[in-house]
Structure 1
Amino acid sequence: MRPTSSTTSALDQHTPTLRDIQRDWDALHADRPRTEVRGDVGEDVSVIDWAEVRRREDALRDRTEHPKEMLRTADRGCRDTLAQVRSSLAGLQPGSSTASFTRSQAPEGAWQVFRDHGLANTRADEALLARIAQAEDPNAVRALLDELDQERLAGFLQRNPHVMAALATDYEPRNADDAVLSGLWNAIGELENGQVTDPRAIADIRDYWAGLTPQEQQRMRLLYPTLIGSLDGIPVEHRAAANRLLVESAIDIEQQRLAILQAMPDNAATREDVLQTVPGWYPDWVAEKIVDGLMHDKAQRLLHDFRLRDQEVERSRKRLAFYNNLLAPKSGLRFSDVTDDSGLVLSGDHRAILLFDPRGDGRYAEWQGEFDTENVGIFVPGTTTDMANIAKYRDNMAKVARRGTSTITWMGIDLPNSVASDATQTRYSEDGGQALLRFVEGLGMPERAITAVGHSAGGGIVGFADVYGMDVDRTLLIAPSGSGLGLHRPLPWPLDPWGAKPSTPESYPAHTWDDEARDVQRFTMTAPGDTVRLAQESENVRWWVGLPEDWGHGNDPIDTDQFTRLETGRWLEPPPTLRLPEGIEVGDRLEGADAHTWVVTRFTDSWTNLVGVMTGGEVIPYREDGDWINPDNLYDDPGYPGTDPVPIDDLESPWEQSQPEIMAPGPVDGSFGSGGGST
């Protein structure tokens, strides 16, 4: 479509302003402000003043808000017009009619305008589609697509997601006739579940990719998106560009899946069939209670995963909503587009999806915030998380990213579907720990401060990645299934080339997987009464319960002085437009079974700690009073005003923190030392 007059006016009026701001941004980073600090031996040392850099960046972002909003308003008007045209065309086209019939219903000359602007297939495109329909395998499809120049190829794939579906199912593409692809495989070596088996290959992948021309990189993203979009070592913006095509294809496939599910018998019919098979000696009311209990949503999450039809329909609808949301432009994601000599790589208002595999429950990772921040936080969710519900965690991480810290929501493995039958198995932590280590290595950001945060089963994953030697600066295990320590059995990973010890240790290694020294700050928190304590204590009771060797996720991190314990605390006052969960009031303590979810919820002290660890800011330490035999959490007292947050680097050591404030009668406040642990 040609721009409307209002769009043209908005472009003429506001584009120069944005260009000026972009020049100021480039100038700021070309000559960052510096400040003088005292060196180790007393000398003055000039360093980049990052606080001033961020202040100026925020000021530049503020300057963009008005012109960007005006352009967004004009753009929405243009899109609304285009949507009306498409809707009108769809209404003109009877079911099963041909494209030529649809063209005949359009106003004279309109179809040529659509073609000129890449909104409709040309006659040559339609002829190519007919040839593609006869192709026998993905490589045959790629050979036909290679006939298009790459600018046309990108638009062709966007207009015809069913063609991308032929490529989206080829997860380990091989083509001896493609020299660039073969060269990449030489760097990869082998893949297992979409990841390189030897993490040392990641550096080779990164170097090989950097040696390709921008045009070669673009072609690889377009023709081999499943490989490029998930391959550790490929730059994040290139992975995101490849995965965007996969999301478009996944929408097409999920719509077909939903149609099949809706045609199947619903839960009510299934329930009647099951009741007919229950042995006759059960009274009807007993059989009904058993069946209804097993079919209930909570039972599916806690005990098993039956994948009943009605629940699957709901999951499918949520996945479709999530996929469509991933493709919707969103202003303010990043300050600018990413471009190279081939053109646009990733628009500043497009989501940066670093991993997208819709098979099963799905694998997914998304970057939030700018690409050049000092701090990068990676959040790993826990049991029952899948493509249908990962958005709530992604949205929370987006809120952290607004504080100037990049965040990544990472679901790099198929997470447990239920608590009892799945989450107890060690393999989830083992497999996830290996995958997370490789993912971090693939980011290639040794100069950044990287924090890995794991919740519930995600805590066990982060713990195991730490055991393997993941290269991060901070970890935070929130209500974790375990720490990965103290299992006392052989590690499953082929560690021989690395020279690692053959069994899980009692302490984390001081070196990374590739034998580089590391200094990791480790934090943990679990709310009182959280039932995850049963999992955390599994190693302590294994000997008398007789748990199998493939159950459990290591020792409770609270039991080791390698972790600084943080306070989960209470509910905080939300903004006037938001409300706390039903039955919760400001000042209520996080405790009980529901606290397992609440600890990663905003407007809580635990959320303050999550943000503080990710950003390297302030956190609330856990403190006790009483004596060494019966220490009590200071928050056990409802009248306790709360512990003030302290800078993360000013925290006491884990050993010092474990010493309770000894309380005794006294004339003033009845305490020795700091007076009740208000540190």
Structure 2
Amino acid sequence: MRPTISALRRWRLNDLALASSVASANARAISDAASKIDRALLSARGWSGHAQSAARQTIAANADHASEVCAVLHALASTAANANRELVPAREQVLSEVRRIVAAGFDVSDAGDVSAPDDGETDRAILADRTADATVWQNRISLALTAVADLDAAYGRAFTAHAKDLTDMVNGQRPVTLPDGTRADPDAVVATLVAMTLTQRRAFLSTLTPDVIRQLVTADPHVIGNLDGVPFEIRIKANTVNIRNALADEITAGRADGDRAKKLSEMLTPVRPTGPLVGDPAAAERKFVAFSNTKVGHAIELIGELDSSTRNVVAYVPGTNSNLNGSRSNYESARNLSARTGAPVLMYLDDRLPQKMGHEGVLSGAKMAMVPGGAADGVMHAVLGLKDSAADTAPAKEIAPGLVQFGHELDAELSRIAPTAKTTFIGHSYGGAVVGTAEQLGLRADRVIYASSAGTGALTTGWHNANPNVERYSLTAPGDWIHTAQATGRFGSDPDTTPGVIRLDTGFYSIAGDHHGQLVTGQNGGHGAYWDDPDSTGFQNMVAVITGDTPVEYVPRMPDTPAAQTSAFAAARSAAIAGSIGGILGIETLRH
């Protein structure tokens, strides 16, 4: 049923934003109380026996119940925030149309009917024209009112479902009804899902009602939000709850003003699309296909819309130093890629990506080696300093299998939604070594871009991409320090010279950008600054690959190898020689 104009004017939509805040605050209060009870039990010393065991079981059961209530409250908070975000502009669209129509001299009824006033003296031809105009205006009002009514009904159903969930949870979450009519505890169903094969999981989930799926998300949002075989739209809903839970944990721990809390809050804030879009598009909720609130942070964010109109999809793996708190530049690059290609971009941020370059340990080890009797300790310190750094192949080998599996998940999602869409995997810097290693392990992609990549893969085997017709491209600017890493062969061959890989031109920055049309080159800017300039030659070449257009091949303008490395890398090489570390970049770290 469509609302009347007067009813729309009375709607107190700001209360939705307040409701969102109250729901989140209540979830934090419940979570905080459950944590305090648990800590109190753990701090009790000298208490053991049947009573202690029974208390622990009761507290654990109540903690599980509390987490489920918090999940519903966080879901309610998201629904209220989204309702406010969508209903406010939808209502304004109706009311602004009414104001325009009245200003043009037409009458508008409370139901939205538009008519041209007839004072009996208006020329018949003019009146006929105004009556025709009134019909056009009325159609516009009708469409706007229908849009508001549809949103209102959809959010009304969502709020009703949340209210039912909370009512049913007074004594614990209600059982779910499975397709065969049996009733089961939601936690038990989640455990069954985990034990299934991917094929079984997808088939089983396809038989469940939205009500049952909502209960499973409530029961264990972390598992559902990160479980392969679960459709992306379900994982996204679960991870919205997970992000709100993580933010609540940060606030409870007294870190409300910390970097992670600020990042989590940002992740929950809707954003407006970028690019040459018509009009003023509404802000959209950010979507996360995976999320874990680890120290570095693990997330797979879907930027753009993945639907039946999708023709191309991008999976983007960033490089060293990429982490959840410091992912802003990677995120903006992904947004620009999506805007320029019209393709959804999945930014794959793995929490095992190196967070240091590797020369730090070599330099400090060299200092130790200069101390009398400290040579052995210096060498050991230098070797350990390479662990989990950009010089360590282990993270690439550990991340790659998950990327291969994610590629399978993406293919399964596309087969359901957009079966003709083409996938492009882009690995930048260390992320290029991850993508190359994934190709060695059987990644399936239509196109692959090695962007300023450390190499073509950290394993000793060749590529085993499941697509025999995969197109491969590389982008490496002259003067980029990554050429030195490529030359070591530690992460496989140099992608710029590997057979089957087409080297693309990195060319020039845009005239209007910060670099004013200069040649893309240099040890630092040449490595990543072209990612920040959507109109640069290199960025436009990535766009061309993604969309299936013809990119521009490399044009040599200066030598690839930098005339001099940064002082840190020069010192690192000297230290390696002086300390007799010899071959340190050619051996595996102590992890293996």
TM-score scaled by length of structure 1: 0.51
Which whole-Å deviations, capped at 9, do the CAs of 1:50-73 have from their partners, x for residues lacking one?
A: xxxxxxxxxxxxxxxxxxxxxxxx
Shift of 1:475: 0.6
Shift of 1:636: 7.5
Shift of 1:254: 2.9
Alignment map for 1:498-509 (pairs within 5 Å): 504-505=461-462, 508-509=463-464
Say if 2:239 is the partner of 1:217. no
Q: Which residue of 1 aligns with 2:64?
A: 142
Equivalent residue letter for 2:265: N
> Relative to 1, partners in 2 of residues 1:4 and 1:251: Cα closer, same or farther, differing over 3 Å?
farther
Q: Which residue of 2 aligns with 1:524?
A: 474
Distance 1:636 1:473 in 2: 31
Residue number among 606, 611, 620 corresponding to 2:538 in the alignment: 606
Which whole-Å deviations, capped at 9, do the CAs of 1:498-552 have from their partners, x for residues lacking one?
A: xxxxxx23xx226x3xxxx54211111111111111221222xxxxxxxxxxxx3
Residue number among 437, 442, 454 corresponding to 1:464 in the alignment: 437
Shift of 1:7: 9.1
Shift of 1:353: 0.8
Q: Which residue of 2 aligns with 1:588?
A: 519
Equivalent residue letter for 1:556: D
Alignment map for 1:324-403 (pairs within 5 Å): 324-331=265-272, 349-372=284-307, 373-402=310-339, 403=341
CA contact (8 A) 1:184 1:205 kept: no
Residue number among 338, 357, 376 corresponding to 1:419 in the alignment: 357
Which whole-Å deviations, capped at 9, do the CAs of 1:159-192 have from their partners, x for residues lacking one?
A: 9xxxxxxxxxxxxxxxxx96554455445449xx
CA contact (8 A) 2:428 2:453 kept: yes
Q: Which residue of 1 aligns with 2:76?
A: 155
Shift of 1:132: 9.1
Equivalent residue letter for 1:564: I
Residue number among 525, 531, 537 corresponding to 2:487 in the alignment: 537
CA contact (8 A) 2:320 2:354 kept: yes
Which whole-Å deviations, capped at 9, do the CAs of 1:196-239 have from their partners, x for residues lacking one?
A: xxxxx333322222222211211111221111111122111111
Q: Secondary structure at the match of 1:558?
A: coil
Equivalent residue letter for 1:410: Y
Shift of 1:595: 1.1
Q: Which residue of 2 aligns with 1:475?
A: 448
Say if 2:588 is the partner of 1:615. no
Distance 2:23 2:284 in 1: 24
Q: Which residue of 1 aligns with 2:399?
A: 432
Q: Which residue of 1 aligns with 2:408?
A: 441
Equivalent residue letter for 1:155: L
Q: Secondary structure at the match of 1:564?
A: strand
Q: Which residue of 1 aligns with 2:510?
A: 572
Which residues of structure 1 form unaligned runs of 5+? Answer: 12-74, 87-113, 160-176, 191-200, 261-315, 334-346, 489-503, 540-551, 624-632, 638-679
> Relative to 1, partners in 2 of residues 1:367 and 1:154: Cα closer, same or farther, differing over 3 Å?
closer
Q: Percent identity?
A: 24
Q: Secondary structure at the match of 1:409?
A: strand
CA contact (8 A) 1:412 1:435 kept: no
Say if 2:226 is the partner of 1:246. no
Shift of 1:424: 1.1
Which residues of structure 2 form unaligned runs of 5+? Answer: 39-55, 81-182, 275-281, 359-385, 561-592
CA contact (8 A) 2:520 2:530 kept: no
Distance 1:622 1:122 in 2: 55
Q: Which residue of 2 aligns with 1:230?
A: 226
Equivalent residue letter for 2:397: E
TM-score scaled by length of structure 2: 0.58
Which whole-Å deviations, capped at 9, do the CAs of 1:112-159 have from their partners, x for residues lacking one?
A: xx7xx99469999999997897575665333467789x9778438999
Equivalent residues, number: 392
CA contact (8 A) 1:247 1:356 kept: yes
Q: Which residue of 2 aligns with 1:405?
A: 343
Equivalent residue letter for 2:451: I
Equivalent residue letter for 2:344: S
Equivalent residue letter for 2:284: D
Which whole-Å deviations, capped at 9, do the CAs of 1:438-474 have from their partners, x for residues lacking one?
A: 1121221242211110000100011011111112111
> Relative to 1, partners in 2 of residues 1:252 and 1:522: Cα closer, same or farther, differing over 3 Å?
same
> Relative to 1, partners in 2 of residues 1:139 and 1:220: Cα closer, same or farther, differing over 3 Å?
farther
- Computed over aligned residues only, the root mean square deviation of the Cα atoms, in angstroms, reads 4.1
Distance 1:122 1:562 in 2: 56
